[in-house]
Homo-oligomer: A and B are copies of this chain.
């Protein structure tokens, strides 16, 4: 039962286009969705992400204009701007501290991870890749959490990233990786789009 319901959710999820625009999520519900999204994995437990929950009418209208006018950005109860943060190895001390304090991780291991992160993200492209990767893992977890709570979602990649950074106050170390609209489905959404055959995408080695 546990098994089948999550599998069914994965199998049946669609990217919704039509949202019930009178539906509202409370700030507590939005916080709960975000809490679940942050259960996603991240490299070194960096948690290099930030979630901007756009739910006020004026803010949604502004975000819609930056997303080619896509109506779902405004019709959904909330549209998240999922930001990836360029990894800062120095942040790891604080991120790992509670785990060291709790006796799970030796403190020299935490220092070793920090040094590993310093070396790994010295290359700017690698750092950017990690920001995109962490944000996408967080976004996927947010999507599954929303589905599990009976909501629908739509990840959106087509938007003015510079405009979003400027108008929503992203820091210079933050990348607006994707938008995720979440709300209640209206009738008429498309079924799941067809997937490529496994023979095209799976290689056994």
Q: Does A186 contact B (CB under 8 A)?
A: no
Q: Does A191 contact B (CB under 8 A)?
A: yes
Number of interface residues of A (CB under 8 A): 81
With A50-B203, A132-B132, A133-B132 in contact, is A144–B34 under 8 Å at CB? no
Q: Does A69 contact B (CB under 8 A)?
A: no
Whether A10 contacts B34 by the Cβ 8 Å rule is no
Q: What residues on B are CB-neighbors of A8 within 8 Å? A: 2
Whether A59 contacts B205 by the Cβ 8 Å rule is yes
Q: Does A38 contact B (CB under 8 A)?
A: yes
Residue of A1, A38, A150 most packed against chain B (CB within 10 A): A38
Residue of A54, A143, A202 most packed against chain B (CB within 10 A): A202
Q: What residues on B are CB-neighbors of A50 within 8 Å? A: 201-203
**A142 CB, min distance to chain B CBs, angstroms:** 10
**A116 CB, min distance to chain B CBs, angstroms:** 7
Whether A201 contacts B47 by the Cβ 8 Å rule is yes
With A140-B137, A198-B35, A201-B38 in contact, is A104–B55 under 8 Å at CB? no
With A47-B201, A136-B137, A201-B34 in contact, is A196–B10 under 8 Å at CB? no
Q: What residues on B are CB-neighbors of A193 within 8 Å? A: 45, 96, 99
Q: How far is the CA of A35 from the CA of B105 in the complex (A)?
A: 36
Residue of A140, A147, A201, A205 most packed against chain B (CB within 10 A): A205
Residue of A98, A105, A116, A203 most packed against chain B (CB within 10 A): A203
The 10 closest A-B pairs by CB, nearest first: A140-B140, A136-B136, A6-B148, A98-B194, A2-B5, A43-B157, A132-B132, A45-B193, A59-B205, A34-B202
Please give the residue numbers on chain A whose beta carbons come within 8 Å of chain B beta carbons, in ascending order.
1-3, 5-11, 13, 15, 27, 30-31, 34-36, 38-41, 43, 45, 47, 49-56, 59, 95-96, 98-99, 102, 104-105, 116, 120, 125, 128-130, 132-133, 136-137, 139-141, 143-145, 147-150, 155, 157-158, 168, 175, 177-178, 190-196, 198, 201-205
